[in-house]
Amino acid sequence: MNKLFNEIGRKFKQSSKSDKLLVSAGLVLVLGMILLGLFASFVSPYGPYEMSQSRLSPPSTEHLFGTDYLGRDILSRMAYGTRISLLVAAVAASVSLILGASLGLFSGYFGGNMDRVIGLTMDALYSFPVIVLAIMMTIMLGPGVTSTAIGVGIALTPSYYRVTRSFVLSIKERGFIEGVRAIGAGDLHIMSRHILPNALPSLAVLASFNMAEGIISVAGLGFLGLGVPQPTPEWGADLKMGRDVLAYGAWWVSVFPGLMILAMVLGVNMLSEGVNSLFKLGVRRR
Amino acid sequence: MVWVSLTAIFIVMHVIPGDPIRAMLGPKATEEMVAMMRHQLGLDKPLIAQYFDYLWNLLHGDLGTSITTRRPVSFEIALRFPTTLQLTIGGIIVAAILGIYSGIISALHENKLADHAARIYAFFVYSLPVFWLGLMFQIFFGKVLGILPIYGQLDPFIDRPRFITGMVVVDSLLAADLPAFFNSLEHMILPWLTVGLLLSASISRITRTNMIEALGEDYVVGARAKGTPENVVTYKHALRNALLPVVTLIGLQFALMLGGALLTEYVYSLPGMGSLLISAIYERDFPMTQGIIVIFSLLVGLVSLCVDITYAFLDPRIKY
Amino acid sequence: MPVLEVSNLETVFATGAGLVQAVSDVSFTLDKEESLGLAGESGCGKSTTAMSIMKLIRPPGRIAGGKILFEGEDLVPKTEAEMRQIRGKKISIVFQGVSGALNPVFKLGDQLAEAVLNHEQIDKDEALKRAQGILDLVGIDRSRTNNYPHEFSGGMKQRIMIATALICNPNVVIADEPTTALDVISQGQVLKLIDDLQRKLGLSLLLITHDLSVIAEVCDKLVIMYAGKIAEYGDVATVLKSPLHPYSQALVHAFPPLKGAKQRLESIPGSPPILINPPSGCRFHPRCPHAMDICRGEVPRLVEVEKGQKVACYLHPAK
């Protein structure tokens, strides 16, 4: 473990200025957001559901981000909203990671018709807009967090599949597998001990790229009104609310949720890009 | 390939647990009503039969009948299709212009200020949620500056031009209806920018990489040795080579674009397939939803194919 | 007056690790209708010298000093715009055929025509006719102007490069490793072509190569470069028959003779220096079997030892 940290530290010091900047800035933003979500109750001056008399009031000293049409403090809602976005996106990104990577491992390793069928399916899924898949889920399972998570998860699986499969194929090509098998290693052992660790760094970076995608999709569905039910604080849903009150000139209800999404996604993207470049992993975004 | 997509859609829509029928009819529905609706939609037949019906109907262009409007789904989609097409094509053009231009500037000033600025800009744009961008444009240009319209395709007091392609901008131009033409352009500026900006970030990135590579190639030196002026070297020799992968990129990112177009239609209230899909979902219009998703998937497949053909056409090294 | 006169040329490259002195104090002349060979191993600075003459050196490289007199005018202070009128028209360079100096997405005819249209105000059809004419000259079927570069073999691409260089009737032609990437048979053909054309068109030729046998066939004079500096300079026949500089001697002996008793191939121990901090004094002294103390001190100057033979070595002081 220690060796890993040393390695990471060394690579970091040797990297270019822009890479360092990306990783640092991204890390700051992401950690900030995570902390915000964890300690939302401490940071927020009010509760996220707490209504008040001052409805649709612009940003002031009492309500730094202003209030919405029910008098709820927007700053507090933004802080609590972090949780939902992070949670759903993280769940979607990780479940799809496990699914996609496993499929990729098996598919690439055993090859044959199974490989072809799975490959085609993954290609078909890959070409779908994420939003559309997520929307499809909502019609089947009803709107809400679960269908969003499942929809986004299904949409992200092909990317993990591809990366893992290409790792498997490149290792296969090096004839390395025959060697290990000759000393009696079983298939599962080969896959988990030899192939997977090579793919892990790239998969991790891919996961964080997908996190960004996930966060935007969650917010997108919330914006369409197909996400979490009211009155749960969620950035996208609050954005939708903002759109509805636009006619009253209440710009702050729209601006701040978007800024939160932007900050989060920017942070994740910066971190992913920085790490990608730093370790020369060459992971491609969708 | 396309077939796989269609099957995948079928599986998702019919196999996944969940009862859309009940959801569609609401909580007050009785068992009989649910059963009747199910029978009407043919959802009580065995799965295999449903599957073959589905494929058979698709081959005949029959996407079912909308629950809400009682008209054929294909008809509804056909009405909305040109709007989405107009939005997407305009978006691609905007993205190409912005992206390629900034990519070239970046490449020519590699690692200098202009390059860094352009890259930061592209990075930033890539992280923007497209729906929020649309909203911000509406606020800024519509409310704050008040110079651009933010809803719909035309002002209500202007008549739609005669239907030729269904795309308002094109039709008004073809009909030489200048007031309608300019009005529709005004309405489309923000949506085009919204959709195009996101794609322009990836285009910029790829153009930059490819231009830098192209400018380092031997044929650039060869051209200079012939006495070719520098801007010709850049724009004719290097760019032509650098642009090829951009075409492929547009194909790959098309799905992303469609998603963006969908949300943009919603934000700007444009009557396209995207907003149709969203209202279909609200109304739990199952056949409509399925139909639109099928069309989306076919569209993505078609664009993929076109991109491959175009690429083979543009690169003389490829024989087809 | 010689058509090309290089005096004390210095070309450097600014890298992260330091300043690379790629070409140092290089001087030679090229007379009208003469052909001069520039020989040396990879990295000795011969290509850089050629690119410097064409002023095609881009940052982080630059010409740091010296003069390049072409028909009496110094090229070094000339602007890009002025050089563009000279490149391709008065001085041309022939690149290695396989190097991809041809743009893969444009047709052959168009690329040749471009060379003409850059300098002459004629219309496209005229230019294409000129292109066809020059293709005849180098032995390529003139109907192939509609083909793309990847449809030609290595030897043909080399001829195309020659054609591109000649289409505007230049005075000086620089050929940079024209036969290096070709198979032996194509090499012979291209060499013969270059030789014929030089005589027929009265060109002044600067031929760059690491292959001494090529120079022996085509050139009148020979410059041997090592580590960015000139080691020896003189008539081809004289230098090859009796090389004076230890490096030249090693180079000449490194080529196996076709006839005669089989000998062991001699190679020069060590490797060429990195030119960021070149060795003090004579740059060859670390590898020279005859190195003396003086060689480590001051840089030996190029001095005329016999008539028409110059060498930069303390073994051969000036006459």
| At least 3 CB pairs under 8 A between chains A and B | yes
Interface of C with B (CB under 8 A): 54, 56, 80, 84-89, 92-93, 95, 99-106, 114-115, 118-119, 148, 150, 164
Q: Would you write out chain B's pLDDT as a tens digit for each of its 320 residues?
A: 566 667 767 766 666 555 666 666 666 667 777 677 667 666 666 777 777 777 777 777 677 777 677 788 788 888 888 888 889 999 999 999 999 998 998 888 888 888 888 888 888 888 888 888 888 888 888 777 767 777 777 776 667 776 767 777 777 777 777 777 888 888 888 889 999 998 898 899 889 888 988 888 888 888 888 888 888 888 888 888 888 888 888 888 888 888 889 999 988 888 888 888 888 888 777 778 888 888 888 888 888 888 888 888 888 777 65
Considering only the beta carbons, identify the residue of A133, A141, A220 that sits closest to B263: A220
| Cα–Cα separations (whole angstroms), residue B300 to A133, B79, C308 | 14, 19, 74
What's the pLDDT score for residue B24?
A: 62
| Cα–Cα separations (whole angstroms), residue C4 to B5, C69, C95, C308 | 69, 6, 19, 17
What's the pLDDT score for residue A1?
A: 64
Q: Does C317 sit behind a cis peptide bond, omega within 30 degrees of 0 on the bond before it?
A: no
Lowest mean pLDDT among B210-224, C200-214, C243-257: C243-257
| Cα–Cα separations (whole angstroms), residue A136 to A8, A126, B288, B292 | 41, 15, 12, 11
Phi/psi at B196 (5° precision):
-75, -30
Record: contact A212-B17, CB cut-off 8 A: no
In the block, tokens 């939302």 appear at A40
Domain boundaries, chain C: 4-90+170-311, 99-169
Residues linked to residue C15 through DSSP beta bridges, in sequence order: C18
The pairing of beta strand C35-39 with beta strand C204-209: parallel
Chain C residues with CB under 8 Å of B233 CB are none
Write the CB contacts of A226 (distance below 8 Å, at least 6 apart in sequence): A134, A135, A138, A143, A147, A148, B281
| Residue B138 touches chain A, beta carbons under 8 Å | yes
Record: contact B222-C105, CB cut-off 8 A: no
What mean pLDDT do residues C275-284 have?
A: 82
Mean pLDDT, rounded, of chain A:
80
Interface of B with C (CB under 8 A): 217-219, 221-230, 237, 240-241, 244, 314-317
Record: contact A132-B258, CB cut-off 8 A: yes
CA distance C93 to chain B (A): 7
CA separation for the pair C258, B134 (Å, rounded): 78
Phi/psi at C136 (5° precision):
-55, -45
Look at the domain C4-90+170-311 and name its fold.
Answer: Rossmann fold (3.40.50)
CA distance B245 to chain C (A): 13
Q: Which secondary-structure segment (H or E) carries C235?
A: strand C229-235
Its sign, for the CA torsion A207, A210, A215, A219, is: negative
Closest C-alpha among A279, B67, B214 to residue C104: B214
What's the pLDDT score for residue C173?
A: 92
Task: Convert B155-180 to b/e letters by CB count within 10 Å (16 or more is b).
Answer: eeebeebeeeebbbbbbbbeeebeeb
Record: contact C102-B230, CB cut-off 8 A: no
DSSP state of B16: S
pLDDT over 70 at A67, yes or no: yes
DSSP state of B75: H
Mutate to test the interface with B, among A123, A125, A126, A140 (most CBs of B within 10 A): A140
Which three-class secondary structure state does DSSP give residue B286?
helix
CA distance B258 to chain A (A): 7
CA separation for the pair B215, B230 (Å, rounded): 11
What mean pLDDT do residues A173-191 have?
A: 70
Question: A264 to chain B: nearest residue by CA?
Answer: B127
Considering only the beta carbons, identify the residue of B126, B136, B277 that sits closest to A135: B277
* Token output for C263: 């000998």
Neighbouring subunits of A (3+ Cβ pairs under 8 A): B
Of C12 and A146, the structure prediction assigns the larger pLDDT to: C12
Mutate to test the interface with B, among A123, A127, A213 (most CBs of B within 10 A): A127
Write the CB contacts of A112 (distance below 8 Å, at least 6 apart in sequence): none
What mean pLDDT do residues C146-153 have?
A: 88
Record: contact B135-A239, CB cut-off 8 A: yes
Write the CB contacts of A52 (distance below 8 Å, at least 6 apart in sequence): A46, A67, A71, A72, A73
Record: contact C150-B217, CB cut-off 8 A: no
Record: contact B8-A121, CB cut-off 8 A: yes
- How many interface pairs between B and C have CB atoms less than 8 angstroms apart? 69
CA separation for the pair A172, B167 (Å, rounded): 52
Record: contact B143-A262, CB cut-off 8 A: no
DSSP state of B1: -
pLDDT per residue as tens digits for the range A1-38: 677 777 777 777 776 777 777 788 888 888 888 888 88
CA separation for the pair B14, B20 (Å, rounded): 10
Chain B residues with CB under 8 Å of C99 CB are 218
Edge to edge, the sheet with strand C61-70 lists C18-30, C4-15, C61-70, C73-74
What mean pLDDT do residues C72-100 have?
A: 85
Degrees to nearest 5, angle at CA B213 with B236 and B102? 65
DSSP state of B217: S
First to last CA, chain A: 31
What's the pLDDT score for residue A26?
A: 83
Chain C residues with CB under 8 Å of B312 CB are none
Edge to edge, the sheet with strand C35-39 lists C91-94, C172-176, C204-209, C35-39, C221-226, C229-235, C309-311, C303-306
Q: What percent of chain C has pLDDT over 90?
A: 9
CA distance C141 to chain B (A): 20
Q: Which of B 258-277 lie inside 8 A of A, CB atoms? A: 258-259, 262-263, 266-267, 277
CA separation for the pair C231, C247 (Å, rounded): 7
pLDDT over 60 at A68, yes or no: yes
| Residue B129 touches chain A, beta carbons under 8 Å | yes
pLDDT per residue as tens digits for the range A90-142: 888 888 888 888 888 888 877 788 888 888 888 878 877 888 888 877 777 77
pLDDT over 60 at C123, yes or no: yes
Contact at 8 Å (CB) between C215 and C37?
yes
CA separation for the pair B8, A125 (Å, rounded): 8
All domains in chain A, ordered by first residue: 16-51+62-278 (1.10.3720.10)
Which three-class secondary structure state does DSSP give residue A73?
strand
pLDDT over 70 at C94, yes or no: yes
| Residue B141 touches chain A, beta carbons under 8 Å | no
